Amino acid sequence: MFNAMELTLAVTGASGIIYAYRTLQLLALSKTIETINLIMSGTSVTVAQVEMGVNLREPTTEKINEWLGLAKDAKLIRFWKLDNLAAKPASGSNKQAGMIVVPCSMGTLGAIASGAGTNLIHRAADVCLKEQRKLVLVPRETPFNTIHLENMLRLSRAGAQILPAAPSFYHKPQTIADLVDHLCFRILDQFDIPHSRKTQWTGEEVK
């Protein structure tokens, strides 16, 4: 584990852009994160408009910072274009803790599983697998067909962590934000990143 952690976070066109939004906010609040390499697919920008009413057309680091409530000139997040295969996350020589794909579309999942990716998200994920770094995929689809399940199994066997967007209810959520936070906390758990423990199971007896 790195003392000052660098992570890559990719956002694809599956429903659930709020999970990416909140994960980025939580990472920004963490004192263990030095750099977040952010990659967004073209469809994810459309989903952001539909689901959150935010215009991220032609995204820049400044636009992303504003969306997340960070200072416009904040240096934590570095935005990389999807077609930039010369970006830092595309190289195994760039030392980082790993990568999160949230939400992860079935198209992206399949491309990573095949090893025949054509963009920076696919390549960065492939680098994590080949370098044996943590790769956390957060699929958001239902129901899964056989191809989806076989791709997940293949990726799991290759070393990826499959963390479906399936929040729990034992913490008695009162709002959508409570449900979102629960899942995002589980994502952070994969990298041992400290966060609020309000959704953690305490071992209470059922009476």
pLDDT digits (tens, 9 = 90+) for 25-73: 999 998 889 999 999 999 999 999 999 999 999 888 999 999 999 998 8
Q: How confident is the model at residue 3 (pLDDT cuts 50, 70, 90)?
A: low
8 A C-beta contact, residue 128 and residue 46: no
The Cα 49–Cα 26 span in angstroms is 21
3 state SS for 160-196? CEECCCCCCCCCCCCCHHHHHHHHHHHHHHCCCCCCC
In which band, very low, low, confident or very high, does the pLDDT at 2 lie, cut at 50, 70 and 90?
A: very low
Go through the domains of the chain in sequence order and give each one's CATH number: 5-189 (3.40.50.1950)
Residue 89 DSSP symbol: G
pLDDT class of 199 with cuts at 50, 70, 90: low
State residue 206's pLDDT score. Answer: 57
Global pTM reads 0.92
